[in-house]
Structure 1
Amino acid sequence: MATRNRMPPWHEVFKAPSGHELLIRPIRPEDDEPLKGAFSLFGPAEVRDRLTQSVDELSAEAAYRLTHPNVKNEIVLVAAENEQAGVAVVGALARASIIPGTKDAEYSILISRFLIGQGLGRQLMRKLVKWGKGKYLDHLYGDVLEANEPMKQLAASLGFKAVPHPQGTPGLVRMVLDLDPGQ
């Protein structure tokens, strides 16, 4: 019987149409410096600001928070070169975190401008949905810039519904996925 080359949980090789090959995997503490180095390449400043409250660079505190997630209530995945953590360039980041006292989680996805449009966002979103279902959550939601048509279309293609932002924040729409359709 042939031995399968199995990867650890939440690990997957992603082959982009451009030929880039990335490893999607949980973030590791060693990703701290590569993440800080690549942060300015992730999406628009408004997106980075919502994720970390820092626009141009990733603070040491924010980097620590991202690279040391509480596995009981959040997941942080990266798409990086298939190299050793701490050396591999990080090209994308996806995070979902359970809102305390609820069965809902908020997601955010940041993708390097060099990798946008390659299907990486879809693959990361699928992994976050899988995580949310595995946690038996009711909803997964994210705030998306109204002008970000590709992300809104991606979310809609996966079953997310656009709803007005609950705080009425101008320029944002909330994309919500019902993870428990039997409710």
Structure 2
Amino acid sequence: MQRVSLPQRWSERLHLDDGRDLLLRPIQPEDAEPIRNAFSLLSPDEVRMRFLHPIKELTPELVHRLTHLDPATEFALVAAEPLPPGEALVGAVGRVSVEPGTRRGEFAILVSRFLANQGLGRLLMRKLVRWAKLKKLDELYGDVLDENSAMLGLADALGFRRELAPDDPGIVRVRLALRTAA
């Protein structure tokens, strides 16, 4: 994958090894409808891996919440077609939400099978970690199905540590310490 930085913060053009071009950029409110429409392209397994349980559709309320962020406590990037927001099909999303009253952020990543194995998950995670460090968070964490070997492998490779959720069989929490003790 080739990457070219763009003037807008957090944005860059991506040229994938398979020849496709994408734009990595912050999520925009205009992405709501394309994201909602693209949800139908996801396999049930992709949905379950991301949301930890099956869901049939993204409700307008949920999509609104996902695309209208509070910049003080939320951050999300999309990998989309190089078209204006609202017109571009979104194929990958990475996001962090700061837990209220803490210095911990929860991450989530979804890369469509149509863009899998191109390095987008790793790129998104590195950007999320960078944002969390800039926000001076102490920890970044996420809940992952224990069968999601791709996400667990990525987390391991980036230094996250695993712990089993005692009251949630089948869920692994991955944690990355962002600040070391003085």
Q: Distance in 2 between matches of 1:146 and 1:116?
A: 19
- Aligned partner of 2:178: which letter? L
Kept in 2, the 8 Å contact 1:16–1:120? The answer is no
Q: List alignment gaps of at least 5 residues for structure 2.
A: none
Give 1:9-158 correspondences, 5 Å limit. 9-42=9-42, 44-50=46-52, 55-158=55-158
Identify the residue that residue 170 of structure 2 maps to in structure 1: 171
Residue by residue over 1:90-110, the C-alpha shift from the partner in whole angstroms, topping out at 9 and shown as x without a partner, is 001111000011100000001
Q: Distance in 2 between matches of 1:67 and 1:54?
A: 21
- Aligned partner of 2:38: which letter? A
1:156 Cα shift? 1.0
Q: Distance in 1 between matches of 2:132 and 2:41?
A: 27
Q: Distance in 2 between matches of 1:6 and 1:57?
A: 33
Aligned pair in 2 of structure 1 residues 132, 155: CA closer, same or farther (>3 Å)?
same
Amino-acid identity (%): 47
- Aligned partner of 2:49: which letter? V
Q: So what's the TM-score if we normalise by structure 2?
A: 0.90
Q: Distance in 1 between matches of 2:74 and 2:26?
A: 11
Kept in 1, the 8 Å contact 2:50–2:109? The answer is no
1:48 Cα shift? 4.2
Kept in 2, the 8 Å contact 1:98–1:106? The answer is yes
More moved, 35-44 vs 68-77:
35-44
Kept in 2, the 8 Å contact 1:48–1:55? The answer is no
- Aligned partner of 1:59: which letter? T
Question: What is the aligned length?
Answer: 176
Aligned pair in 2 of structure 1 residues 171, 54: CA closer, same or farther (>3 Å)?
closer
Q: Distance in 2 between matches of 1:160 and 1:27?
A: 25
RMSD: 1.7
Q: Distance in 1 between matches of 2:147 and 2:54?
A: 21
